[in-house]
Structure 1
Amino acid sequence: MEAADEREPARVRDPMAETNLRRLIDSFPNSNEKVDLLNSLKRTLSKYSRRNLQNDLANVSLQNFFESFPVLDEEEMGLCCEVIDSLFVAFTHEVVIENYSLELRQGLCFDHPSIRLVCLAELKRIPIELYEKFIFEDESAISSMIHLITCEPLQVGLSAVSGLSRIGDCNNGTSCLIQNHLEELETAMAKSDVIRFRFYEMVMNVAAANPRNLPVIVGSGLIHKLLNELFEDKKPDILAQMNCLELLTTLVQTDFGFRWCSDEGILAKIENLLGTIGGDSILAILLPGLIVFFGCLAKIKPGIICTQYKLFMSSLFSTTETKDMTLKGIAMETVAQIGAPADGKKILQEYAELDGFIIAIGKTLEKASDMRARALNAIHHLLMLKPADHSPELLTLTERWFQLLGQDAFKTIFKFCQQPFENFRLAAQKVLLSLAYQPWGQQLMCDYPTLKEYLLDRTMESEQEWKYGKFKIVEALVECSFTAEYFGADYYQKLVAHRDAGPNYIEGESSVDPEPS
């Protein structure tokens, strides 16, 4: 459990602070200058060390604040909530739950977003065992959070979604939510489309939290309501379907959620949606969401997704001809995610369509658009192969993929490394990093004019991120056992000295800056 005095640096104790603090709190309800008093209270709090706050004020009454809420104006309410939040953060979690549970419940119920957010923040902050104790001692907190999910502003609703989602981590929490509060949930969900999807998000968070939660949520019928919206074919709401896909991703990324969706035929039905799109311009809006959905799964289960869901893979590779830049970018990133790990590279090589896809990525580098940065990032992921994953098969594969990018691919990438635009420059540096880890890549680098000078020239990178990006390339070259073979022993020693000096070394300085984390 996180100790409270580790959550913020301790401050020096003022011997008069405790007396002043209690006096200010006690005098708050009758004060005619509440803003001045609250500001004074904040200054006094700043003089307190956290440890002394815990020791001296852990039992201070906050009821004077909470009972005054109805008569406070906006400025007073805002300052008051700042003070309460400072005290909640300073106290140990145990003290907050033991001494201020009543205030937390009052805050959840009071009709003002500032205090609601303070109380929800504390419920998200406390350890799960204390959260469990709080909600089960008085289940009105569950009802309060259900109500808050329906409330505005948006920050309150979303914070309540996060707060109530934690019930999925409690023993019997999901059963309690469904058995005792299902009617409340369904009534609240009926208020509007926006609110309904807030509850779907909470439900998916709970279902995905633990294997024992899923059967309870399925039994409630709430997941099936979401699936009915996803597979609606008479009057489909495309925006609702896109939201359903995004929320369902939370569940299917867990092993038990994936098994359930697969066994129930849900994944097959989602893939079939790809086949229904065809020339329907309305349904085509759903295509990026479907590719993202399967792409997320393919990243963690490439073997299953890429071999069993052929329609997805076909749709993915067919995007090379699309004029929809959003869809093309998503497809590019999805293929890169699949091919990032060594196993993913082996799976992708089985698809003949991949060659055309990589050729299209290479052509993207030649066009004046922001897609070039996404293309560079995709190339980095597809080519990255650290020494631990080296095999003759994979090294040959990554070299062939690079060659598919075009005859002048290295020249183009190196030019991006010298552009003043951060998104291009950093992405291109990542491509050089992926090349630095491979013998054929080092040969390309070694043969290219000015590349060696570029790596050791510290004056070229004016931004910190650019310095780190180039420094990582040098680190990679030093790390590889074959670098001296390609660059020569003398240059390799220069790389070692450059690495040892750190990324921020300035010639003539005696100190060495720390390396990036």
Structure 2
Amino acid sequence: MASSIESLLAGLSGIDDPIEELQSLKTALLAIPVNALRDSVSGQRFNVIFTLLNSNDREQVELCVDILEHILMALSPVSLAQNYRVELQGGLTHPNEAVKILALTQIGRMVEHPDATTEILNNHDILEAVIRCIGEEKLAVAKQAIQSLSKLSHSKPGLDKLFHTDLLTVMKDVMAKSDTIRYRIYELVVEISSVSPISLGYCANSSLISQLLGELTGDDILIRATAIEMVTTLAHSQHGRQYLAQQGIMDKISNMIRGAETDPLSSLYIPGLVKFFGNLAIMDSPQQVCETYPIFQNKVFEMALDPDPAMIGVALDTLGLVGSTVEGKQVFQKTGEKFKAVLTRMSQLASSGATELRVRSLDAISQLLTLQSEQQTEDLLALTESWFHLLSKQPMDMISNISTQPFPELHCGALRIFSAIASQPWGQKLMINTPSFMEFILDRSTGQTKEAKDAKFELVGTLVCSSTAAEILGSQHYIRLKTYLREGPYYVSAVSIVSTEGAE
């Protein structure tokens, strides 16, 4: 096989129209398993393919890219660095997007390998070209460049090269091209900062982080909204949160929420500020965040009652996120009537809102009602039961009605609420006391999509795994549920197959 590839490569030299030969080479390469391909291509040179990339014929270039993708992935990163460094560097400035992405992908492989990384670190021009790719018009090229540089920064020599040489000046030059490209550099800096306290230190010392934080209070509302997203990502790591706290960013964002009440354009950035604190609450402590920044919780409740769908959606997601924790549930419960009003609103949205808001309401409600078995204290069980009964005078009927509607996402959302209460004794008692409910659970003809079958199977599994289900539901129902679980989510009985064939 190696000899046939060699002869196909030889046949490409000096041809004016190599499309047919390239197609034959591509077919031959695709026929070789990856392991065997490594042996077939080792020791051979593929410069002729790189040369054929220099063409205005799009089909020819795309064939060359397909071929090189197969070949180069079969080579080790060290082999790439030693034999194709110059060719890949040329690919970074090629006019075709696919060639740039090919080169960046392979450079990304090299910087993950200790020995190959040294070759790249010693080649200033390659790294400068990769940074300049962040300024390319095509987002896919920029994303690949960001990914490769992010990998490079996982080592101290990589950090030193990016931040302690004139490559930092190159980054700042690229940033100056436009607002969009500036945020791509911020994206890279935030990714690097998230790796470790040391990498955050490099980024902070470069002044790029402080520049990003300064954008939070800029005059351009859209830029401000984008900056909030970046800062939220930075807060995902503990060292990132500590840094933001030291810089007073939590207080600044809290004040921004407070000041937004007099800003007619606040709807463009308020959702981002709320998401920031929602993520902070989950990663640190819902109680601490809500008590330290009460404006956050008040704003979430206010947004849930707002007529603006964009505000409602973010509020629902945040309520579900924070309320998925025991501490979050307890914080909400302490607000008394305020939260009851919000829960009533969520119920109304789940029953009769726009489809997207109905789905988000159902998901938030299921998160609020979920308790793991080890969390099921008497107080918490009483809390979730009282919340369920606040949804409607007949909450089981309400959720059941939603589950029978011909929208898979609503059907699944309703089933997730039933799964949330299925592990709790009060939920099981409601199920067994609701006429025809157990028949509904065991009926495989309802919900024919894969998602619906999976959601029903999860509900059945939750009931079977509960230590109280056998006693509360009765042995007959429990045995049927265990049979359903054993048969799997997609089981079709022989009787239903025969009746379906007869109908045809």
TM over 0.5: yes
Change (3 A) 1:133 1:348: farther
Tell me the CA shift for residue 469 of structure 1. Answer: 0.8
Give me the whole-angstrom Cα distance separating, in 2, the residues matched to 1:452 and 1:135.
Answer: 64
Aligned positions of 1:153-168 closer than 5 A: 153-168=138-153
1:122 aligns with 106
| Alignment pair present for 1:86 and 2:70 | yes
1:407 aligns with 393
| Alignment pair present for 1:296 and 2:282 | no
Give the counterpart of 1:348 among 320, 332, 336: 332
2:154 aligns with 169
- Secondary structure of 1:345's match? helix
| Alignment pair present for 1:495 and 2:478 | no
| Alignment pair present for 1:448 and 2:434 | yes
Moved over 6 A (4+): none
Q: Confirm or deny: 8 A CA contact 1:278 1:284 kept in the other structure.
A: no
Give me the whole-angstrom Cα distance separating, in 2, the residues matched to 1:128 and 1:149.
Answer: 19
2:382 aligns with 396
- Secondary structure of 1:122's match? helix
Give me the whole-angstrom Cα distance separating, in 1, the residues matched to 2:464 and 2:82.
Answer: 56
Q: Confirm or deny: 8 A CA contact 2:411 2:447 kept in the other structure.
A: no
- Secondary structure of 1:61's match? coil
Aligned positions of 1:36-435 closer than 5 A: 36-125=20-109, 128-130=112-114, 132-180=117-165, 181-232=167-218, 236-301=219-284, 302-352=286-336, 353-370=338-355, 371-435=357-421
- Secondary structure of 2:252's match? helix
Give me the whole-angstrom Cα distance separating, in 2, the residues matched to 1:67 and 1:257.
Answer: 46
Give me the whole-angstrom Cα distance separating, in 2, the residues matched to 1:122 and 1:349.
Answer: 53
Give me the whole-angstrom Cα distance separating, in 2, the residues matched to 1:327 and 1:346.
Answer: 24
- Secondary structure of 1:407's match? coil
Q: Confirm or deny: 8 A CA contact 1:167 1:206 kept in the other structure.
A: no
Give me the whole-angstrom Cα distance separating, in 1, the residues matched to 2:377 and 2:27.
Answer: 63
Q: Confirm or deny: 8 A CA contact 2:274 2:296 kept in the other structure.
A: yes
Tell me the CA shift for residue 87 of structure 1. Answer: 1.4
**Equivalent AA in structure 2 for residue 265 of structure 1:** G
Tell me the CA shift for residue 221 of structure 1. Answer: 1.0
Give me the whole-angstrom Cα distance separating, in 1, the residues matched to 2:197 and 2:85.
Answer: 30
| Alignment pair present for 1:469 and 2:455 | yes
Cα root mean square deviation, aligned:
1.9
Tell me the CA shift for residue 106 of structure 1. Answer: 2.4
Q: Confirm or deny: 8 A CA contact 1:53 1:91 kept in the other structure.
A: no
Worse-superposed segment, 152-161 or 189-198:
152-161
Give me the whole-angstrom Cα distance separating, in 2, the residues matched to 1:350 and 1:63.
Answer: 70
Give me the whole-angstrom Cα distance separating, in 1, the residues matched to 2:148 and 2:416.
Answer: 38
What percent of counterpart residues are identical? Answer: 28
1:485 aligns with 471
Give the counterpart of 1:460 among 446, 451, 466: 446
Q: Deviations over 1:25-55 (max 9, x none)?
A: 2332422332111111111012212222112
Change (3 A) 1:98 1:450: farther
Give me the whole-angstrom Cα distance separating, in 1, the residues matched to 2:434 and 2:109.
Answer: 54
Give me the whole-angstrom Cα distance separating, in 1, the residues matched to 2:265 and 2:281.
Answer: 26
Worse-superposed segment, 139-148 or 66-75:
66-75
Q: Confirm or deny: 8 A CA contact 1:59 1:99 kept in the other structure.
A: no
Give me the whole-angstrom Cα distance separating, in 1, the residues matched to 2:288 and 2:88.
Answer: 47
- Secondary structure of 1:365's match? helix
Aligned length: 491
Give me the whole-angstrom Cα distance separating, in 1, the residues matched to 2:262 and 2:395.
Answer: 35
Give me the whole-angstrom Cα distance separating, in 1, the residues matched to 2:381 and 2:99.
Answer: 58
Q: Confirm or deny: 8 A CA contact 2:305 2:342 kept in the other structure.
A: no
Q: Deviations over 1:291-347 (max 9, x none)?
A: 112112222222432221111111111113311111111111101101112233233
Give me the whole-angstrom Cα distance separating, in 2, the residues matched to 1:145 and 1:438.
Answer: 55
Q: Confirm or deny: 8 A CA contact 2:215 2:227 kept in the other structure.
A: yes
Tell me the CA shift for residue 287 of structure 1. Answer: 0.8
